[in-house]
Chain A
């Protein structure tokens, strides 16, 4: 079975402060990890995926297989980063994407 855990329901940070949204997973094989974001009144959308090793809107995430983690980081939070963030996992060869419960990020001006 595959499982994604996001330990924080809500994370509040001040503008300009660093942000780290935690994600841990449980999967026996080689997973593919993703971060999805839902801004207010907008559709849920892909933010980034670990295989691309890209930085989107200043966010990065590194897959740590030893710690089974895929934490999302940004050095300086902006007000427009306030949103709901979901970590998701796809097993190799699978069509099923499993989501965590989400973390609401609130950036305080």
Chain B
């Protein structure tokens, strides 16, 4: 069935270090992979996304890579800052009987220590 696994569940880094979060998906037909950042008590906000026709996308300190063969994608944050502390969710897009939906990973709680 539809499933997205996300690792690690928690990640603690020192300010300035890099952070990497990994996700795997089950349906090879999935073709869109967004990443959301959720600060405490707030709504999830899209930070970057990638479609299946590219292997990598970068936006300043954030990058996402996609390996369609292995069915996994990763979020890379470089030069982390305390304001990067949040829960990060990956997601994979599925077509389901004419409906479109995102299947989310369980989330990664990132803590960046000054």
**Chain A bound to chain B:** no
Residues of A within 8 A of B (CB): none
